[in-house]
Structure 1
Amino acid sequence: EEPARMPPQLYVDDGLGFNEVSAVRLPRPEQGKLCVELRLPPIVLALRLDPTDREGRFHLSRVTMRELGKLRMGLRFAAPIAKELARRPEEIPAAARRVWSIFREGGVRGLKGALVERSRRIGPVRYAAWIEEFDTLREADRAAIAARIAGMVSRPRISVLMPVFNTPEKWLRRAIQSVREQLYPEWELCIADDASTRPHVRRVLETAAASDPRIKVTFRKVNGHISAASNSTLETATGDYIALLDHDDELAPHALYMLAEEIAEHPDADVIYSDEDKIDAAGERYEPHFKPEWNPDLFDSQNYLGHLSCIRSSLVHELGGFREGCEGSQDYDLLLRATARSLPARIRHVPHVLYHWRSVHGSTAAATANKRYAVEAALKALRDRHPGCAVSEGPFPTTYRVAHPLPARPPLVTLIIPTRDGFALLERAVRSIQQQTTYPHFEFLIVDNQSTEPRALQYMEELQRSGQARVIRYDAPFNFSAINNFGAREARGELVGLVNNDIQVIDPDWLSEMVSHAIRPEIGAVGCKLLYPDDTIQHAGVILGLFGVGGHVFKQLPRDAPGYFARAQLTQNLSACTAACLVLRKSVYEEVGGFDEENLRIGFNDVDFCMKIAKAGYRNLYAPRAVLYHHESASRGYEDTPEKQERFRTEVEYMKQKWGGALERDPAYSPNLSLESLQMEIAWPPRAPKRWKSA
């Protein structure tokens, strides 16, 4: 089968030649025309248009470029948002409040940043085109799936639980029909009507039950709310697994088949979840949520498992089913308890859009504020899951913060700061840490790498003489890995903090936040949010495989921009974080052998280091509430000489040889998201395999 053609791409030579980093993926032409707005870098030496990624014919008649004024550009950014609001007018009041809040906090600059970030989230590759190209089942797909099902040695029965209350008739019928249209036949639909008052509900449910023996309906006499109704559905379930379906949502036709495939491959699976999107009243799908693999700290920050969720039936019964008192977030509560009882290897992710979340007036998908009680229930569930932790709402709706406590006697942290000359940088870094850090127990260990500048030498001597810092000499050519290893061996603290000399503290609680996670036994390295001096993001974690080895995700977004599904601002597990500011236990540092001094002297040593930590069984973590400025490369400059570029290429090849395919399968990322974008845009084509095509 011929692979899908790539959309056109525009390459920009900004002085470093044409490369994938500067490439801009364009939307597909419509009616023979292509019109797109681009933000080009300040220096442009040449442009190159690649109409396709393989040999073929195309027609190019005229190319024009013009500069857009600020007003027109603002209108261009706002147009897609206005279109979305026109389709869902019930969201307009909340959007207006959000605009006012952004303007009040950040003025015109804040509004501009929010518009740019929102336009990036919508993305240059339209989701509708992606669905048509990669997420539409053809007849050949259906035939292949039927053959796979026929060849299954064991077919687990999946009980779909659907509590119902006064559901609009149209959406209730669609929800039921989406189950009946499943390609996988071993299912039962367990419905419990929670004493609906609308007469059509009983009529629709009785008709459905009479039409298919796999549909079981319970009519509750008293309204008990969602948890009680969900338990009523559970009482009639006889399947090996239970899957959760809201009464106005829809399953993709191959949803239960994909779950069955995952169960067949991983029969010990306790929890399985899929990707999802939203669907409006007109049936248009939008806002796909492409999820990472099991990510415990992200799950504490938001219920990203969401839909479609499937849990082993015996585990659900063992947990006592749905808890009353958690109405509105009863699914989140059940999943929190189920994942806590399970093991990471038994929590499985199916990276396909198997669930369509209905977004209509009054639904949770359309406006979270409609169900404030759901937020309160989620907070209760998290507090029960994490006793002793302070749980509060996060920076965005349906996001949360679990603050882990520090011990009564906080452990000593050795802050290792490599430096060479650069008095102004070092002095600012040390002063900002001294004056703006609330954490009470840390020491400075400055590693001087052959400084000759008199002011820098004098400053380090003063720090050492006054007892403010220890200074040790590394008298060899610059080797970032060796310098940090040298410092770590001399560290007296239970924890070590790797800190560049071009760091500047702006958040007083930065070290407290990072230490609170680093002392958790299951956590390895803890990274923070780093900003450029213009308050845009420099580091919000590293995604493996971005542009080759790894890249800083959400780079240059505004400081408080949510990023893809708020991930720029949520505590979560990541495969790697930059060593420009990294905190971990010294025992973990020593266990993995520190940085690779021989093969990764300068580049990618932090990525390799974090991957070794993950391989040793620890979870690395991004802590966005720890915020610092990073005057990136102020001390060493950029990779701008032939010697540096050759060394960079050598390090890239070493990483690819050592880690191989792991660089393309970051568990903190999705195979449906691009490895050629720093903003988590849709991958074209996706890398998620279709199992019915793998036979």
Structure 2
Amino acid sequence: MLGRFRGIGLELHAQNQLRIDDAARGAGRYESLGEDPQFDVRVAGGVGRLAAGWYLLTGHCQVKDGEIIAPCFYPDYGEGQSEATRIDLAEPDSEGRLRSLVLIKRRLRMLRLDPTIHRATFEISGLRLRRISRPQAMLEMLRGIGRSPCRSADAKPALAAFLRQAFRGRLSAGADMLHRRYLEAQRETDRGYQQWTALFGARAGMRRTFERAQALSRHPVISIVVPVHNTPPALLHSCIDSVLSQSYPHWQLCIVDDVSSHAPVRELLAQYAQKDARIQVRYRTEHGHICASSNDAIAMAEGEYVGFLDHDDELSPDALYEVAKALHEHPDAHLIYSDEDKIDEAGRRFDPHFKPAWNPDLLRALNYVCHFTVIRADLVRRVRGLRAGFEGAQDHDLVLRCTEHLQREQIVHIPKVLYHWRAIPGSTAMGVSNKPYALEAGRRAVEEHYTRIGRPCRVEITADGHYRGQWLASADTPKVSIIIPTRDKVELLRTCIDSIFEKTTYPDYDLVVVDNGSIEADAKAYLEQLRGHERVTVLDYAAPFNYSAIINHAVARTTADIVCLLNNDIEVITPQWLDHLAAHAARPEVGVVGAMLYYPNDTIQHAGVVLGIGGVAGHVHARMERGTGGYIGRAGVTHNLTAVTGACMVMRRSVFDEVEGMDESLPVAFNDVDLCIRIHKRGYDNVWTPQSELYHHESASRGIEDTPEKQARFALEADRMKRKWGEYLRHDPAYNPNLSLDSCSFDLAFPPRNLSSRHTGLSTQAQ
């Protein structure tokens, strides 16, 4: 009992991409040599001594150089080590202490520790696992969640979500959810937004920024529009003072009071109007709501550009300078938007929204542009300003109508937090569910937008408060050829093909199965059976495996207008999976379309690819539970990404031919990413949609390159991608330079990368 109370000691044996520091061997010092260092974990008496249940991992990890990022265990329960069973661990705290919950689900065969996905030199010692009860584990998780500086109120919602899962009989899923929130809270504690702003949010100083502003080649006047109605005086003070504090002096503040009944509001506005000639105030005599008062303010605007500021929000001191700088860098810009965060009544900043560059499909799903938005005044007047009847979503409606008149190069994103959105009870910043009328107004705005651009559809509101287009049925459905490379593994192939035939509702498709030298008798027999199916063509490809060459060979032998690349380990979930993918692929501005893929345990395997993650590219939102919205809702809505996985990829045959197919010098890895980049550089929008759901039955073990030959080949292809695309891999327009390339979970970057203003063209990102 004493040994159990003190815990079970763990011994680490370096296995992959780790160098032991002989001079400090007694201290357990190691250097990771790549992105996949691995320890074999050994336990006195055998790893089977770790029975199923909750454990508390403790120990010490002192980082000498580099970073410990995303440490994890990979248990082997008898089916191998895979992402589906991965156990995430908390990173060491600032003093090097390790403390993390571990759930062992079944009898263990082996246990692997991956200490980091980043180069690092570190000392690790004293690792122990102590068995604890389920109530103790829950208490540890709730305490950890409550300790987060950014989520201090999240313990109760986390407990409520766990109880909902438990009442549904999904106790294991509830525990996994609670554990993920616990790990997120741990990351926020050690690498949170407060720390990030302290390190990277410092201003250059008013005088220095003023000098930089004066050095710009042009100094456009930016008219700030502020509709006011019964604003708490303290918040209105802060709002107006944030404009007065701007380091860029060429502004006009246009305030319209919408018949405020509180006398202090009018008195305050009169005082400010006397204080600075750039502040102009108008008082309405009829209450007209936000659209009417904003339009009155727009009519007062004398500047070349109009910016929008809510009456209780704040601009960062350099907001207008950054806009003027972006206009200097992009003289033809007509619409500029920035990143934003939230601010409470005490002035504490939290919940940053780091946005992608121009992303039209994301805008149709949610108003990601939001704050701070600056638009050419003549364009705002051309579309007749804000529309009455769209209150609550008036800014979303305005941006949709303005962007319909612009080229993508005229829409510029500034990847800096220039706007602080006030989060107080009842405000939209606390969640759109507080204002359900805003959801309906936004739904109508998106639906009308689709009609104006010639894609009429019915728009519905999702459970997460976002928008989803449901297109009208069309008799003109282009033929789709589904290309499935295979070799042996007959049960995977049979599951894939059976699910297609049994579930797919799309009417006009065929299968092209490419056999790359199957030798197993049951596989050969099944392929022979398929040759007699009216919808199946079996092609033989006897050359050594080269995925790119196999796909090029197959596409050249199809006649369909649309091709779908599909792995043989895919299983269809949603019957309309191909309807959604083909509908997007048929859009003339779209290049490649990707789908939502899940591991068999209903966690996300693929919700899009971001360039640069892990060195070349990585899957975002990986391992999140099915149905979760992800970062700013992006895992639950259709949006644009630079790349998607070739495990399920759909495109027009003409687009594939335009870029001359796949690069056969990339036979195994990254050929899908390379194809997507080349298509994107041609000016196409690549799309990912969660409406097409499939299972991916891959063995997704990190370190699957388990022989020296495979590792050398993978390294060669990764190096080829880095040499071919260079800085493009660090500046994905669908991502944000304030977000980490060491994580698939939209963690903060320490430090951020290039923060220059940008549009969607990849050619501008490396400048």
TM-score by length of 1: 0.90
Please tell me whether residue 114 in structure 1 is matched to residue 177 in structure 2. Answer: yes
User: Which of the residues 308, 328, 331 maps onto 2:392?
Assistant: 328
Cα RMSD of the aligned pairs, angstroms, is 3.0
How far apart are the structure 2 equivalents of 1:575 and 1:406? 28
Residues 1:438 and 1:216: Cα distance change in structure 2 (over 3 Å)? same
Note the 1:160-171 alignment, pairs <5 A: 160-171=224-235
Q: What code does the residue aligned with 2:474 have?
A: P
Q: Which residue of 1 is the match for residue 626 of structure 2?
A: 559
Match of 1:656 among 722, 731, 737: 722
How much has 1:196 moved relative to structure 2? 1.2
Alpha-carbon offset, residue 421 of structure 1: 1.5
Higher strand fraction (1 or 2): 2
**Could you say which residue in structure 2 is the equivalent of 1:130?**
196
* 8 Å Cα contact 2:163/2:174 also seen in 1: no
CA 1:218–1:690 in 2, change beyond 3 Å: closer, same or farther?
A: same
Task: Describe the superposition over 1:437-460 as per-residue Cα deviations: whole angstroms up to 9, x where unpaired.
Answer: 111111011111111222212212
Q: Displacement of 1:84 after TM fit?
A: 7.8
Q: Which amino acid aligns with 1:554?
A: H
SS at 1:403 equivalent: strand
| Mapping for residues 209-248 of structure 1, pairs under 5 Å | 209-248=273-312
For 1:194, give the aligned amino acid. Answer: D
Q: Pick from 369, 378, 396: which aligns with 2:464?
A: 396
Counterpart of 1:24 in structure 2 is 69
Aligned to 1:318: 382
**TM-score between both structures, scaled by the size of structure 2:** 0.82
State the shift of 1:412 in Å. 1.0
How far 1:34 sits from its partner (Å)?
4.8
Q: Paired residue for 1:687?
A: 753
**Residue from 143, 146, 158 that aligns with 2:210:** 146
Post-superposition offset of 1:144 = 2.7
Distance of 1:198 and 1:103 partners within structure 2 = 49
- Taking the aligned partners of 1:253 and 1:483, their CA distance within structure 2 comes to 56
Choose the corresponding residue for 1:382, options 439, 442, 446.
446
**Per-residue deviation, residues 451-480 of structure 1 (Å, max 9, x unmatched):** 122221221222222324111111111111
CA spacing shift, 1:342–1:48, aligned 2, 3 Å: closer
Q: Aligned residue for 1:619?
A: 685
Match of 1:340 among 404, 413, 416: 404
The answer on 1:299 being equivalent to 2:363 is yes
Q: Which residue of 2 aligns with 1:186?
A: 250
**Structure 2 CA distance for aligned equivalents of residues 220 and 380 of structure 1:** 28
How far 1:544 moved relative to its partner? Answer: 0.3
The code of the aligned residue for 2:596 comes to K
Q: Which amino acid aligns with 1:323?
A: R
Matched, 1:590 2:657: yes
The residue matched to 2:736 in structure 1 has which SS? coil
Instruction: Describe the shift of the 1:537–1:614 C-alpha distance in structure 2 as closer, same or farther (beyond 3 A).
Output: same
Q: Per the alignment, do residues 151 and 85 of structure 1 end up closer, same or farther by CA in structure 2, a change over 3 Å counting?
A: closer
Alpha-carbon offset, residue 406 of structure 1: 5.0
Q: Compared with structure 1, are the counterparts of its residues 27 and 498 closer, same or farther at alpha carbon in structure 2 (3 Å cutoff)?
A: closer
Which protein, 1 or 2, shows the higher relative CO under an 8 Å CA cutoff with sep ≥ 6? Answer: 1
CA–CA distance in 2 between the matches of 1:634 and 1:82?
A: 33
1:653 CA displacement: 1.1
Structure 1 stretch displaced more, 450-459 or 549-558: 450-459
Distance change (3 Å), C-alpha of 1:94 and 1:401: farther
Q: Secondary structure at the match of 1:243?
A: strand
Q: 2 CA distance for matches of 1:567 and 1:75?
A: 31
1:167 shift after superposition: 1.1
Deviation of 1:369 after TM superposition, in Å, equals 2.1
Aligned CA distance change for structure 1 residues 647 and 601 (closer, same or farther; 3 Å): same
The equivalent residue for 1:260 is 324
Map 1:60-79; keep pairs closer than 5 Å: 66-67=129-130, 69=132, 70-79=134-143
Task: Check conservation: 2:92, 2:99, Cα contact below 8 A.
Answer: no
Q: Tell me which amino acid in the other structure corresponds to 2:723.
A: Q
Task: Give CA-to-partner distance per residue, 1:283-331, whole Å, 9 cap, x none.
Answer: 1111111111101111111111111111111100111011111111111
Match of 1:37 in 2: 100
Give the whole-Å Cα distance in 1 for the aligned partners of 2:498 and 2:310.
Answer: 55
Structure 2 counterparts to residues 326-475 of structure 1, below 5 A: 326-387=390-451, 388-397=456-465, 399-405=466-472, 407-475=474-542
Kept after mapping to 1: 8 A contact 2:644/2:672: yes
Q: Distance in 2 between matches of 1:212 and 1:74?
A: 57
Label 1:99 to 1:329 Cα distance change in 2 as closer, same or farther (>3 A): farther
How far apart, CA to CA, are the structure 2 residues paired with 1:670 and 1:284?
A: 23
Aligned partner letter, 2:480: V
State how far apart, in whole Å, the 1-side matches of 2:318 and 2:229 are.
Answer: 26
- In structure 1, the residue matched to 2:708 is 642
Task: Select 1:667's aligned residue among 733, 751, 756.
Answer: 733
Report SS of the residue matched to 2:390.
coil
Task: Spell out, residue by residue over 1:573-616, the C-alpha distance to the aligned partner (whole angstroms, 9 max, x if none).
Answer: 1111111111111111111111111x101110000011111111
Deviation at 1:251, TM superposition (A): 0.7
Aligned-partner Cα distance in 2 for 1:319–1:106: 53
The secondary structure found in structure 2 opposite 1:258 is helix
State the shift of 1:490 in Å: 1.2
What is the Cα deviation at residue 104 of structure 1? Answer: 5.9
> Which residue does 2:51 correspond to in 1?
none
Q: How far apart are 1:506 and its partner, in Å? A: 1.4
Superposed, 1:275-294 pairs within 5 Å as 275-294=339-358
8 Å Cα contact 1:574-1:668 kept in structure 2: yes
Whole-angstrom distance in 2 between the partners of 1:634 and 1:547: 15
> Which residue is 1:515 aligned to?
582
DSSP-derived class of the 2:571 partner: strand
Q: CA deviation at 1:28?
A: 8.8
The one-letter code of the counterpart of 1:245 is: L
Residue 429 of structure 1 aligns to a residue in which SS? helix
Task: State the distance in 2 between where 1:490 and 1:613 align.
Answer: 21
TM-fit CA distance, 1:149: 1.4
Letter in 1 for 2:682: A
1:78 Cα offset (Å): 3.2
Conserved 8 A contact 1:528-1:581: yes
Q: 1:40 Cα deviation (Å)?
A: 9.9
Q: CA deviation at 1:649?
A: 1.0
Paired letter, 2:545: F
Distance in 1 (CA, whole Å) between partners of 2:267 and 2:639 is 46
Output the CA distance in 2 between the equivalents of 1:419 and 1:445. 11
**Cα distance change on mapping 1:12 and 1:408 into 2, 3 Å:** farther
Q: Distance in 2 between matches of 1:677 and 1:299?
A: 25
Change (3 A) 1:53 1:411: closer
Contact 1:20 1:676 in 2 (8 A): no
How far apart, in 1, do the equivalents of 2:594 and 2:272 lie?
A: 53
1:183 partner SS? coil
Q: Kindly tell me: are residues 603 and 85 of structure 1, through their superposed partners in 2, closer, same or farther at Cα, counting changes over 3 Å? A: closer
Asked if 2 retains the 8 angstrom alpha-carbon contact of 1:395 and 1:569, the reply is no
Q: Which residue of 1 aligns with 2:671?
A: 605
Mapped contact 1:417–1:445 kept (Cα < 8 A): yes
Distance in 1 between the 2:483 and 2:355 partners?
Answer: 35
1:165 maps to amino acid: H
How has the CA–CA distance of structure 1 residues 101 and 270 changed in structure 2, closer, same or farther, with 3 Å as cutoff?
farther
Residues 633 and 113 (structure 1), Cα distance of their counterparts in 2 relative to 1, 3 Å cut: closer
Displacement of 1:143 after TM fit?
A: 3.5
